[in-house]
A and B are shown apart, each in its own frame.
Chain A
Amino acid sequence: MREKLTYALGILGTLVMLFNLNTIFGDLPDEAMQGTIFRIIFIHVPAAINADIFLFAALCASVAFLAKKNFLYDSISVACIEVATMLLLLNLVTGSIWGRNQWGIWWAWDLRMTSQLMCFLLYLGYLLVRPAIAEPTQRATMSAFISIFAFADVPLVLMAIRLPNVKTQHPGPVLETGNLAPVYQGPFALGILALFLLGTALVLVRLHQETSRREIDSLRRELHSF
């Protein structure tokens, strides 16, 4: 059942993405100011939105683990964080490429970009520290605390372009300011959906691996007891 769901989500996500790419490159007109490079928004922003969704899921799972001490929540948390970290990297890299074209620089140390980089580094740290703790309960507890602490950066990233007295190089929120023309809104929403479906499929794959890893740990303990 789980395997079928994973394949279904993965295939559906790929189909939605292919359909969307066909629309983005085949049907959409160039943006008046930026030209064709504007199309990078359909991968750059959905990656950030989905990263935040998976990071929020990881936060909930971490809190649930601390409350109930059920290792399934720890597995959900690490699976979501791994996929979200990949999406954050995708967001940072595509944003940097867009910035090089539009601003003439690869990077600007403004609040939005710096806080997003910090977010990526915090969760990368989580993924690097986690395997260093051998004892499973200690590892899961420490991971939950790091996950909750790291999530504090997410609202900062979201608010960075919305704070009244902060000027950033990064553009404002396109949906809220009404700067995204209606013709672009459909592909934008489909971009979010495609990455969400693919991301969920990847989370399920990663979740299965984490369950197998726990089984490996218990088999090792069993072998030591002989």
Chain B
Amino acid sequence: MDPIAVANNLRFLFYGYTAGFLILLIFVLTLVSRGRKIDSELARLKALVEDKERPS
């Protein structure tokens, strides 16, 4: 293989793995951020229900 083809191969291999891991990372970060939002919403609603249930 000539040196230009080798360099081209390496460049595209780098693109491939970078794109792959970026997709995985973005998905994980999206899950984490969504999880935090759900947890805080759940805590807020639980507090609201407790407030309503408490005799005034």
Listed in ascending order, the chain A residues whose CB lies under 8 Å from chain B are 34-37, 39-40, 43-44, 47, 83, 86, 89-90, 93-94, 97-98, 100-101, 198, 202, 205-206, 208-209, 212-213, 215-216, 219-220, 222-223, 226
Contact = CB atoms under 8 A, between A and B. Distances in A.
B9 A101 contact: yes
**B interface: dominant SS:** helix
Interface of B: 1, 5-6, 8-10, 12-13, 15-17, 19-20, 23-24, 27-28, 31, 34-35, 38-39, 41-42, 45-46, 48-49, 52
Contacts of A216: 38, 41-42, 45
Contacts of A40: 12-13, 16-17
Of the candidates B12, B28, B52, the one having the most CB atoms from chain A within 10 angstroms of its own CB is B12
B5 A94 contact: no
A206 B35 CA distance: 8
Given A202-B28, A206-B31, A86 B45 contact: no
Contacts of A205: 31, 35
A128 to B, nearest CB: 15
A37 B20 contact: no
A34 B35 CA distance: 42
B52 to A, nearest CB: 5
A219 B9 contact: no
Nearest to B32: A205
Contact of B10 (A36, A89, A94): A36
